[in-house]
Structure 1
Amino acid sequence: MPQYLAPGVYVEEVPSAIKPIAGVGTSTAGFVGVVADDVAMPLLPGRSGVQADGAVEPADFHLVAPAGVAQLVDGWETFKNLFGDIQPGNQVLAHAAYGFFNNGGGRCWITRVAGGGESLDDDLIEALETFTAIDEIALVAIPGAVSDAVQTKLVDHCENQYLQDRFAILDGRRTTTLTKAAIQGGVRDSSYGAIYYPWIDVGVTDDDGNPVYQPPSGHIAGVYARVDTERGVHKAPANEVIRGALGVETLVSKQGQAGLNPDDINVIRRFDGNITIWGARTLAGREQSEWRYISSRRLFNFLRESIDEGTRWVVFEPNAPELWSKIRRNVGAFLTTVWASGALLGNTPEQAFYVRCDETVNPAGVRDAGQLVVEIGVAMVRPAEFVVFRISQWAGGIQ
């Protein structure tokens, strides 16, 4: 406390007890894919690409980004400068990245593997680990990788107890057999991932003019980002048009989807010429019905990560009622903002959530162990997956 020796008026700055919790980002993606070492790269600005005698000048071209190193990509031009324009040596990853930005994505991290090794699956799995330390990543995909080993590792990555702040977008297998086993393979159920079927036509054809279908995960990650921006993470990324998609590899009817939806396969369908995401489920399975919907899992990830980052100032503070009161105010203010955005169910904040941090959850034994416990409950808004209109004949008059 300062000493006052001379008479006069003194003004002190007092730290506010309210330390606002900022919502974390939810739409930065992480992609892993194959880019060959010898892909053609664009010219550096102001260079001609040729020597005086007409020979090619390699120093005039961008160098392909090193394999196994995560690169921040904030637009399609950045992608081309790091990995080249769309071509046979990078086609799957390039189409995924283009689809991400075209559908509303803004930032992503990309780690390339060169391919051509003994085990591509092992290379992809190893590259995935480069994302572990990048905190801003919230969506992860390995476009076109549909093996059980890679997709299971992708789900494991998102479920990692030290992460649990990201969501896996999986591509379904290329099959015409409309069953969970055929489309999902042996990948286990998890609320930290969702799978999409079928692959999509983005205008690429082979030498005979036949469509070369592409995995949808990159485009769908862009749709997630677009919905997050326009509506919020609590809005299911479904009933949304995939920009740049011209068709689907397999047309699935309403009857066909009736056999897939209960098994948590999200179907991409054609409606009035638009290629539309027509599913909103995670791979949680019946055993985890509370995490059935993508929006529920991703909203919970958002809440947990935001509160985690916004309350780090609490660590090592005196564990006493004054601190508990500050925590209740700070977390309550954040959740009130979330409720006001329409993400929580309830006519009032009191109906939408509660925050408990007092002696009932922090008895002496807990405090002696160096722990501070905060109990939070939230009422989730679920998507209207089945909309039912009951229509009957009416004779008229007052109902």
Structure 2
Amino acid sequence: MAGAYKTPGVYIVEKDAFPNSVVEVATAVPAFIGYTEFADNKGKSLLNKPWRISSMAEFISYFGGPPPAAFAIARKNSAATAPADLVASPTASDDEKTIIDEINSARAAVTAIAGLDKNPDIFSGADEDFSLGKDDKYFLSLEGTYYLLYRSMMLFFQNGGGACYVVSVGNFSKGIEEGELSEGIQLLKKEQEPTMLVIPDAVSLPAADCFKLQQTMLSHCGYEMKNRFAILDVFGGFMDNRDNECIDTFRNQMATNFPAFGAVYYPWLNSSIVPVTELSFRNIHADSLATLVSLLTLEVRETVASLKKQESIIAEINKLPDSASKSAAENNELHKTLSAVCPLYNKVLAGIQHKLNLLPPSAAMAGIYTMVDNTRGVWKAPANVSLSAVSSPTVNINHEEQEDLNVNTAGKSINAIRTFIGEGTLVWGARTLDGNSLDWRYINVRRTMIMLEESVKLATKAYVFEPNVANTWVTIKSMISNFLTSVWKRGGLAGSSPDDAFSVHVGLGETMTAEDILEGILRVTVLVALSRPAEFIEITFQQQMQKS
């Protein structure tokens, strides 16, 4: 430096004493793709644009409210089972005979509608799976497309969700298309922050399109980006696998490419996202209001003894077909009246509530991932954790039934969501789809490695084009070692000491040859001992001889 000085004086030279630090990247930033009411930010379109939000209020502000939900009431064409008909006495008047005939019809109708709120199917156009009993039954079917993103976002935030990205690929004016959702995935290529990919609307597609889209999700995460994790749902996962074989279909249809970058959960969830207080006869399709009027009228004839009271209630029921022309206050009053005097009306609303609350679990699991990452760390398996806003899984899985889900010869592990007495609904599985791999069997192992790789990669960019000499090697090694030491101290790496938990290797003759240096290549090898969950705990009891 002395040769550079020309004027006598005192010169200050500062030198960096410490290497650059590695900043840990975010691990729980899911990206949701689907359909919304609108996509607008103060007049600027957000359609097909990844947009970051951090609350349900922001989602509603930018993307609108819930999708329309109008249900039709239909009846299967088979003989109904009803109680024995009443027989009018020989001296009965014509009016009495008319009422007895109406009561007999009402009994058949009430029998047919029984169990309406227990129909587990959420899609329209099915066959016997929509019936509500062994004989002729009424059932509810959604008129139009079943959009899942809005209520899935509610489930995400209820289970600990935070910052996330939303890609709106369309509004509710048209159906769900696999091509549009796939294009939404490609839009995420330029976004650095998202670490998870969730598409609840995938299961609303036809089966073939659903599996195609899910394969695209895995390819995006494991091949194109290599730094994301896909959370998948089982198509038809609201039904029992023994009856529907939905698990076998999933395993047969899903390709085996990049299975370590995705996990799937079964069964679907009965949530409590939509309260029955938000529902009314406005959720009944206009074409089915006449059917509802007929059923409620027959119920009144069956259950109300006073003829005067019957006529009063029926007069209210007959207002339903004209409700579209009434004011909101008048309709609210009519809804309250029907709720108070017509048990069958409440049963129909309960059936609609059940259908709207039936949701695939991927969004809830994205919330669980976020909550576990924020409270314990990405290295903690997102399992043995209870789900919020969930009353039960749609299928009650026992110990024996989970064996094939968790461990399968094909390696495609399915994580179970189970109910335990006194413990509620728990996530009872922590495997990726690569269940036979000793490297990437567990979700937390794969996601921890993604976090380490991305954090080190971004920090090391500062040394691109630096001299490929010992000073640079030592600086990089120190930087990575300091970062891994901090991760080890927080329990992210296994080992009683840092030396047992990781090692960093760089240098000529160790990771590089002289030819590598001539070609401008600096090679660093990092070995880490990642923590794995204690999936199976074995406790051995044995008797011993009495010692005193």
With normalisation by structure 1, the TM-score equals 0.87
Instruction: Please report how far the alpha carbon of residue 91 of structure 1 lies from its aligned counterpart in structure 2 after TM superposition.
Output: 5.1
Instruction: Please report how far the alpha carbon of residue 173 of structure 1 lies from its aligned counterpart in structure 2 after TM superposition.
Output: 2.1
Instruction: Find the counterpart in structure 1 of residue 91 from structure 2.
Output: none
SS of 2:235 mapped into structure 1: coil
Matches within 5 A, 1:190-229: 190-203=259-272, 204=274, 207=348, 209-210=350-351, 211-212=354-355, 213-229=358-374
Q: Deviations over 1:279-307 (max 9, x none)?
A: 00001142x32100000000000000000
Alpha-carbon distance in structure 2 between the residues aligned to 1:338 and 1:202: 36
Instruction: Find the counterpart in structure 1 of residue 375 from structure 2.
Output: 230
Change (3 A) 1:237 1:65: farther
SS of 2:241 mapped into structure 1: coil
Q: Deviations over 1:96-155 (max 9, x none)?
A: 211222212211111112266587111111111111111010011101414111100000
Q: Read off the aligned partner of 1:186 and give its amino acid letter.
A: Q
Alpha-carbon distance in structure 1 between the residues aligned to 2:533 and 2:152: 27
Q: Contact 2:156/2:366 (CA < 8 Å) preserved in 1? A: yes
Alpha-carbon distance in structure 1 between the residues aligned to 2:385 and 2:44: 34
Alpha-carbon distance in structure 1 between the residues aligned to 2:174 and 2:425: 36
Instruction: Find the counterpart in structure 1 of residue 113 from structure 2.
Output: none
Instruction: Find the counterpart in structure 2 of residue 176 from structure 1.
Output: 240
Instruction: Please report how far the alpha carbon of residue 67 of structure 1 lies from its aligned counterpart in structure 2 after TM superposition.
Output: 2.5
Alpha-carbon distance in structure 2 between the residues aligned to 1:31 and 1:62: 21
Instruction: Find the counterpart in structure 1 of residue 191 from structure 2.
Output: 134
SS of 1:241 mapped into structure 2: coil
Alpha-carbon distance in structure 1 between the residues aligned to 2:63 and 2:396: 33
- 1:279 aligned to 429, 433, 440, which one? 429
- 2:419 aligned to 264, 267, 270, which one? 270
SS of 1:220 mapped into structure 2: helix
Alpha-carbon distance in structure 2 between the residues aligned to 1:97 and 1:177: 27
Would you say 1:310 and 2:310 are equivalent positions? no
Alpha-carbon distance in structure 1 between the residues aligned to 2:471 and 2:184: 46
Q: Contact 1:62/1:81 (CA < 8 Å) preserved in 2? A: no
Instruction: Please report how far the alpha carbon of residue 195 of structure 1 lies from its aligned counterpart in structure 2 after TM superposition.
Output: 0.2
Matches within 5 A, 1:76-155: 76-88=56-68, 92-114=148-170, 120-146=177-203, 147-155=210-218
Q: Read off the aligned partner of 2:428 and give its amino acid letter.
A: W
Q: Read off the aligned partner of 2:405 and give its amino acid letter.
A: L
Structure 2 unaligned residues grouped into runs of 5+: 70-145, 204-209, 277-282, 284-347
SS of 2:530 mapped into structure 1: coil
Identity %: 31
Comparing both structures, which one devotes a greater share of its residues to helix? Answer: 2
How much is the aligned-residue C-alpha RMSD, in angstroms?
Answer: 2.4
Q: Contact 1:144/1:214 (CA < 8 Å) preserved in 2? A: no
Instruction: Please report how far the alpha carbon of residue 202 of structure 1 lies from its aligned counterpart in structure 2 after TM superposition.
Output: 1.2
Instruction: Find the counterpart in structure 1 of residue 523 from structure 2.
Output: 373
Alpha-carbon distance in structure 1 between the residues aligned to 2:176 and 2:392: 32
Would you say 1:350 and 2:412 are equivalent positions? no
Matches within 5 A, 1:46-85: 66-85=46-65
Instruction: Find the counterpart in structure 1 of residue 13 from structure 2.
Output: 12
Instruction: Please report how far the alpha carbon of residue 224 of structure 1 lies from its aligned counterpart in structure 2 after TM superposition.
Output: 0.2
SS of 2:16 mapped into structure 1: coil
Instruction: Please report how far the alpha carbon of residue 259 of structure 1 lies from its aligned counterpart in structure 2 after TM superposition.
Output: 1.5
Would you say 1:388 and 2:538 are equivalent positions? yes
Instruction: Please report how far the alpha carbon of residue 87 of structure 1 lies from its aligned counterpart in structure 2 after TM superposition.
Output: 3.6
Alpha-carbon distance in structure 2 between the residues aligned to 1:292 and 1:357: 29
Q: Contact 1:169/1:193 (CA < 8 Å) preserved in 2? A: yes
Alpha-carbon distance in structure 2 between the residues aligned to 1:151 and 1:113: 17
Report which structure shows greater RCO (CA 8 Å, sep ≥6). 2
Q: Contact 2:512/2:522 (CA < 8 Å) preserved in 1? A: yes
Would you say 1:252 and 2:397 are equivalent positions? yes
Alpha-carbon distance in structure 1 between the residues aligned to 2:12 and 2:28: 44
Q: Deviations over 1:210-260 (max 9, x none)?
A: 322101111110100100010000000000111111111111111110121
Q: Deviations over 1:285-344 (max 9, x none)?
A: 42x321000000000000000000011111001111111111111111111111111111
Equivalent residue pairs, number: 374
SS of 2:33 mapped into structure 1: strand
Q: Contact 2:147/2:201 (CA < 8 Å) preserved in 1? A: no
Instruction: Please report how far the alpha carbon of residue 36 of structure 1 lies from its aligned counterpart in structure 2 after TM superposition.
Output: 4.3
SS of 2:415 mapped into structure 1: strand
SS of 1:160 mapped into structure 2: helix
Instruction: Find the counterpart in structure 2 of residue 187 from structure 1.
Output: 254
Alpha-carbon distance in structure 2 between the residues aligned to 1:258 and 1:225: 27
Q: Deviations over 1:133-182 (max 9, x none)?
A: 11010011101414111100000010124x21110000112242256423
Q: Contact 1:200/1:248 (CA < 8 Å) preserved in 2? A: yes
SS of 2:438 mapped into structure 1: helix
Alpha-carbon distance in structure 1 between the residues aligned to 2:494 and 2:46: 47
Alpha-carbon distance in structure 1 between the residues aligned to 2:504 and 2:190: 30
Instruction: Find the counterpart in structure 1 of residue 5 from structure 2.
Output: 3
Alpha-carbon distance in structure 2 between the residues aligned to 1:64 and 1:392: 71
Structure 1 unaligned residues grouped into runs of 5+: 42-60
SS of 1:137 mapped into structure 2: coil
Instruction: Please report how far the alpha carbon of residue 363 of structure 1 lies from its aligned counterpart in structure 2 after TM superposition.
Output: 1.1
Alpha-carbon distance in structure 2 between the residues aligned to 1:273 and 1:351: 37
Q: Contact 1:73/1:110 (CA < 8 Å) preserved in 2? A: yes
Change (3 A) 1:328 1:62: closer
Would you say 1:299 and 2:448 are equivalent positions? yes
Instruction: Please report how far the alpha carbon of residue 63 of structure 1 lies from its aligned counterpart in structure 2 after TM superposition.
Output: 6.6
Q: Read off the aligned partner of 2:63 and give its amino acid letter.
A: F
- 1:338 aligned to 480, 487, 494, which one? 487
